[in-house]
Structure 1
Amino acid sequence: MLKQIFILLLFCLGIQLHSQEIGFTTPDYKAIEKEINDKNSKFFYPKLMERLMKNDTLLSHDEYRHLYLGYVFQPKYNAFWTSPDEEKLRTYYDKEKLETSDYDEIIKLSNHSLYDFPFDLKHLNFLAYIYHLKGDETAAKITSFRFHSIMNVILSSGDGKKCETGFHVLMVDHEYVLLSLFEIDSKEQSLVGNCDYLSFEKGVYNVDGIYFNIEKMLENERKALK
């Protein structure tokens, strides 16, 4: 069901990824940390987060970049976060067909999850889909805008061809969301230095696998274990 949702959003909502236009720039975390902590900067984190939570569609790519990548410096960052509503939402994910009576409950649970973690890509995607089914195209496009803006940050953080230029992600789940978006199935996952390497079946795709930089995830895990 999830793969069908991704495809529907890409083609029905008319919002496209534009990573090729942006290119990629390896994140400078020191510079990002300095900017988001500067009260005089346009990237001051509390102000950016306030705009994000208000669904401000005027947030630029650079502002989303500081929001997403800068989240690793926030006290709430947990690389192994799971939604407090995961079990309840899972019952809807597993349904072959959703009932119209399900929509409002899914919207409530998804928004509660996003309040806890604003970069929850899986539930952002699901929420946009539900808004679409409900006929609220304005809400669907606003939610999809956030989803695609976050995806563009990930895609503009590397090219995935080697560990040094791996895509930067906040959590492992985001790796699989990216693969699902492009209908790619991974065969195996392995740790290579500070990267997750997801390998594919040989000969099926143009590359044998993709690297994701998880340096900040590993740092977060080490802090949690202290």
Structure 2
Amino acid sequence: MKKIAILALLICCSITLSAQYDEPTAPDYKSIEKNINNSSSHLNYEVLMERYRMGDSTMTIDEKRHLYFGYVFQPSYNPADTSQYNTRMATVLNKQYFSDQDYEEVLQYAEALLKEDPFNMRALNAKLLVFAQKNNVEAYRRTAKQRNIVQQAIISTGDGMSKSTPYYVIKVSHEYDLLGFLGFKFGGEDKIERNCNCNSLTLAPNRFGVDKLYFDISPTFEYIKRKGSGKI
């Protein structure tokens, strides 16, 4: 109970969810698919994606959830995280000092990653770094709002403390992206849990006393099932 209370406090301090989701709620993928394909609905996917690209902070939590989880029904959805731009961007970011050219390359790689995965929080964080350095306030605010949209959609689904209350994500890589936001570091073990659609990550020692977080990755399993094989 202590761990749950501490984590709940952290989450409450980090973000505020709308009254529609007073408690964490698992995404209803069937309902989401229906709603995003309704051309006359405010939940239509093209409408939601355009608002996301604009960094629209007025999006409701329901709209954010339809945006994030609705992506699994788009032709471009691929849960694999094997882009060459991940390595290229990481190589530059690992430098001790950045030149102007380094910042340009980071921005270039981040944009390329976001074309492949519009909710890549590593890429969004990288863009924030560049915009802060360049004092581009407008771009920084827009990107920060985009990141917030993704984080709120995920956090609204669970507390990550058990298999029955996992955080729902559409890609395994998003699990790692979320750790820093929650105040954690990866502990070294990534495990597919038995008898559920969950993956778990152990955590490095932390002040909250949390040892492991659980994530539901149902869309990833469904994708692999359709394709016959795949790397996540």
Q: TM-score scaled by structure 1?
A: 0.83
Name the amino acid aligned to 2:64: Y
Q: Name the CA distance, whole Å, in 1 between partners of 2:18 and 2:207.
A: 22
Distance in 2 between the 1:94 and 1:47 partners?
Answer: 37
State the shift of 1:19 in Å.
5.2
Pairwise CA distance, 1:125: 0.9
Per-residue deviation at 1:212? 0.3
CA contact (8 A) 2:158 2:167 kept: yes
Are the equivalent residues in 1 in contact too, given 2:151–2:178 (CA < 8 A)? yes
For the aligned residue pairs, the C-alpha RMSD in angstroms reads 2.4
Moved more, 75-84 or 36-45: 75-84
Change in Cα spacing, 1:202 to 1:47, as seen in structure 2 (3 Å) is closer
* Structure 1 residue 16 displacement after superposition: 4.7
Shift of 1:20: 9.6
Separation (CA, whole Å) in 1 of partners of 2:83 and 2:137: 25
Measured in 1, the distance between the counterparts of 2:135 and 2:206 equals: 41
Question: Shift in Å at residue 81 of structure 1?
Answer: 3.6
Q: Does 1:215 align with 2:213?
A: no
Q: In the alignment, what sits opposite 1:80?
A: 80
Report the more deviating stretch, 130-139 or 44-53: 44-53
What does residue 103 of structure 2 align with? Answer: 103
Distance 1:169 1:60 in 2: 19
The yes-or-no answer on 1:122 pairing with 2:122 is yes
Structure 2 Cα separation of the partners of residues 217 and 72 of structure 1: 9
1:176 corresponds in structure 2 to 176
SS in 1 for 2:214: strand
* Deviation digits for residues 59-103 of structure 1 (CA, Å, limit 9, x no counterpart): 332211101011111121111144352343232122112123322
Equivalent residue for 1:91?
Answer: 91
Residue equivalent to 1:59:
59
Matched, 1:206 2:209: yes
* Separation in structure 2 between the aligned mates of residue 83 and residue 66 of structure 1, nearest angstrom: 25
| Structure 1 stretch displaced more, 187-196 or 121-130 | 187-196
- Cα offset for 1:201? 5.5
CA contact (8 A) 1:55 1:142 kept: yes
Distance in 1, matches of 2:222 and 2:85, equals: 26
Contact 2:168/2:215 (8 A) holds in 1 = yes
Contact 1:106/1:130 (8 A) holds in 2 = yes
**Which runs of no fewer than 5 residues in structure 1 stay unpaired?**
1-14
What is the alpha-carbon distance in structure 2 between the residues aligned to residue 152 and residue 189 of structure 1?
23
Higher deviation after alignment, 165-174 or 201-210: 201-210
- In 2, Cα distance between the equivalents of 1:201 and 1:127? 27
- Residue 15 (structure 2) aligns with: 17
In 1, distance between residues paired with 2:134 and 2:206?
41
Higher mean alpha-carbon deviation, 197-206 vs 211-220, is at 197-206
Matches within 5 A, 1:138-153: 138-153=138-153
Contact 2:17–2:61 under 8 Å retained in 1: no
Amino acid in structure 2 at the alignment position of 1:165? T
What's the secondary structure of 1:102's corresponding residue? helix
What residue number does 1:8 align with? none
TM-score of the superposition, structure 2-length normalised? 0.81
SS at match of 1:186: strand
CA distance in 1, matches of 2:75, 2:40: 21
